[in-house]
Structure formats: structure tokens, C-alpha cells
């Protein structure tokens, strides 16, 4: 069984707001060590310093609790400066009793940086099973989408959109749709970027794209949005893996992913050149759009494939836990 995520003192029971996981506090480990056998970490330690994570590791060692760490991010997409995440990885990766990651490329990078071996296990489906087999809607238009969300630090949005306006304009019966959250236009929010919204609005006024400004999507809204796209372009300049790509694989939406990170190893997708070091390769992005338009790839997981994959992943996790517990 998996323990429920405890709420911080004072957090209302109905709140959906993210908070730093209480389980990362060494005091929580000391108080609850008799209630769990293995401590498995995925995400959520952004607010912890490397010193605090060292104290967590010490607490786990004190009570002989194995640490399993699934390395989703070798570069945190929410942080412009990689220093704090690197420092966290320098604590967690060597300290883990077992490491898991999603792709061979990430495993090789872990081996190179820390001389540690990581098991490679795929990410299970993120879309609910009942939607995995639903038919995609028919459309006479070829729709390319970029979802800017709340402008995460790893997004290089406007350079990508500029290239896409040109690439899509050259294709008959094609359109570009850009989605972005309302808070990008709301003063006082962390995502406030009026100059970005102004540029996108100018593109929309020139009929180069359709702009949708909206609040966060719920799951069903997000799945409906993705199934309405033929091509979803990830405008990332750095990163490692993508849950968005997994959702597109579940729903049959083709992805154009950047060359940074290991997206192309995660699931079948189109690639284009885009890294922090080299910038955006406009030509390769145009080629990816043209390829998606011309061939209409159909890379979609079936219910049976995803169910079998999930069973294999669960069995692999059980075996890792069994080995650690002797």
C-alpha cells in the first residue's frame, strides 16, 4: 500500500494547491518510520535545499529505510538556474539504494555523472483507460498547437511560435493554435508577462494564429484539447522527459519535441533542434511540421499495450522493493 500524502498544518482539506511534501521532513520520517518499508521519491523536492535533503537521507538511514529514486528530471524545467537541482541530485542519486529512470539516454547520463546504474522503466499511461480507445474527432483542418501554459522557465515560446506562423501559413488547410493561461496577463502573478501576451495578440490580430487565453484545464478539458490537435509542438529549450508527450501518445496526437533532453527516446515523435546551448534550429522545426502534415503519423498506444506495459512496470517495482527488503 502507498501512504496518503499528509497535509501541512493549516492546509484546508479541500485545497488542491501544491505544497512541499511533508514526507520530505526528517521529523516526519522519525514520527512515521514504523508505517512504511520503502521510501520512493519521484518529484516535489524543489523547495528543499541540498542540506535539507541530506538530513532526509540521514533519517532514512537511521531507521534503515531503503531509498528508491526515479530520476524524471536531470534538468528541472521549472528552474532557470540548474545549480539547486544539480545540488539536490548530487545528494539523492548517490544516496539512493535503487535508481530508476525513463530512457536509456538518461540512464547513460546518470552513469556518466555519478557512476551509478539506473534501471530503465517506461512511464505508464497518464490518460484514463476509458479514454484510451475513444475515437479522435474528424477535422478538415490540420491543427498545430503550442500550449504555453504559464510560461515555465524552460519554454522558449516566441521564437518557436514565429517559425510556426511561417511554416503553417505555407500549408493548405492548416492552422496554428496557441494556448496560454490567464495569469500571464494578470499583474502580481509569478507568470505575468504582458510583452509575450502582446506579441501573441498581434499574431492573432494578423490571423497568423488562433490565441486561446484560459484558466488551467481540468483533465477532461486537457484531453479534449489534445485530441483536437494533429501536432503538438513542445517549445522547450531544456528538460529531460515529458508527461505531456505521454498523454499525446495515449491520445494519438503527434508530438514535435526538441532535441534537448531525451524526449525522442521516451515515445515515438518528431524532433527538431532546440537547446539552451545551440538555440532554435528553425529549419528543422519547419521540416518537422511539414513531415507531420505530409505523413500524418499515427503513433498511439492501444488499451492492451498500455495495460500490459503498466503491469510490467508494476512487476519491476515490486521486484525492486522485494530485493531491497531481503
- Residue range of the domain that includes 36: 22-120
Q: How far, in Å, CA of 102 to CA of 110, rounded?
A: 12
Q: Is the pLDDT of residue 151 over 80?
A: yes
Q: How far, in Å, CA of 149 to CA of 72, rounded?
A: 20
- Are 138 and 108 in contact by the 8 Å Cβ rule? The answer is no
Residues 101, 147 within the same domain: no
Whole-structure pTM value? 0.93
Q: Which CATH number fits the domain that encloses residue 92? A: 3.40.50
Of the pLDDT bands very low, low, confident and very high (cuts 50, 70, 90), residue 18 is low
Strand blocks (E) in 110-149: 119-120, 142-147
Which of 70, 103, 120 is the last residue before a domain boundary?
Answer: 120
Residues 155, 26 within the same domain: no
Q: How far, in Å, CA of 144 to CA of 209, rounded?
A: 10
pLDDT digits (tens, 9 = 90+) for 39-96: 999 999 999 999 999 999 999 999 999 999 999 999 999 999 999 999 999 999 999 9
Residues 134, 266 within the same domain: yes
Residues 142, 226 within the same domain: yes
Which of 120, 151, 182 is the last residue before a domain boundary?
Answer: 120
Residues 145, 102 within the same domain: no
Helices (H), the chain: 26-32, 50-62, 83-95, 104-114, 129-132, 157-169, 194-205, 219-227, 243-251, 263-266, 282-295, 303-324
Residue 161 lies in a domain: yes
Q: Which CATH number fits the domain that encloses residue 194? A: 3.40.50.2000
Q: Which residues pair with 214 in a beta bridge?
A: 181
**Closest residue by Cα to residue 101 from 316, 323, 319, 325:** 316
Amino acid at each position: 500500500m502507498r501512504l496518503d500524502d499528509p497535509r501541512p498544518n493549516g492546509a484546508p482539506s479541500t485545497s488542491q494547491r501544491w505544497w512541499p511534501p511533508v514526507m520530505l521532513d526528517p521529523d516526519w520520517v522519525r514520527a512515521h518510520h514504523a508505517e512504511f518499508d520503502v521510501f520512493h521519491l519521484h518529484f516535489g523536492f524543489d523547495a528543499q535545499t541540498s542540506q535539507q535533503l541530506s538530513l532526509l537521507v540521514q533519517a532514512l538511514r537511521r531507521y534503515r529505510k531503503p531509498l528508491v529514486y526515479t530520476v524524471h528530471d536531470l534538468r528541472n524545467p521549472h528552474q532557470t538556474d540548474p545549480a539547486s537541482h544539480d545540488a539536490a541530485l548530487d545528494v539523492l542519486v548517490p544516496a539512493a539504494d535503487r535508481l530508476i529512470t525513463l530512457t536509456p539516454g538518461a540512464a547513460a547520463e546518470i552513469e556518466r555523472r555519478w557512476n551509478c546504474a539506473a534501471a530503465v522503466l517506461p512511464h505508464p499511461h497518464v490518460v484514463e483507460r476509458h479514454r484510451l480507445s475513444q475515437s479522435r474527432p474528424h477535422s478538415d483542418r490540420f491543427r498545430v498547437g503550442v500550449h504555453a501554459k504559464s510560461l515555465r522557465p524552460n519554454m522558449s515560446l516566441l521564437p518557436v511560435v514565429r517559425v510556426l506562423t511561417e511554416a503553417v501559413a505555407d500549408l493548405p488547410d492548416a492552422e496554428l493554435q496557441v494556448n496560454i493561461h490567464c495569469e500571464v496577463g494578470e499583474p502580481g502573478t509569478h507568470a505575468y508577462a504582458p510583452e509575450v501576451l502582446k506579441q501573441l495578440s498581434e499574431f492573432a490580430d494578423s490571423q497568423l494564429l488562433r490565441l486561446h487565453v484560459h484558466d488551467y484545464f481540468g483533465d477532461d478539458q486537457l484531453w479534449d484539447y489534445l485530441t483536437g490537435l494533429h501536432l503538438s509542438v513542445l517549445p522547450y529549450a531544456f528538460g529531460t522527459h515529458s508527461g505531456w508527450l505521454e498523454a499525446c501518445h495515449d491520445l494519438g496526437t503527434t508530438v514535435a519535441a526538441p532535441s534537448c533532453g531525451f524526449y525522442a527516446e521516451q515515445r515515438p515523435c518528431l524532433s527538431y533542434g532546440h537547446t539552451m546551448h545551440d538555440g532554435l534550429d528553425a529549419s528543422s522545426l519547419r521540416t518537422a511540421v511539414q513531415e507531420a502534415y505530409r505523413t500524418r503519423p499515427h503513433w498511439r498506444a492501444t488499451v492492451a499495450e498500455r495495460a500490459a506495459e503498466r503491469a510490467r512496470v508494476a512487476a519491476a517495482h515490486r521486484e525492486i522493493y522485494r530485493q531491497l527488503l531481503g
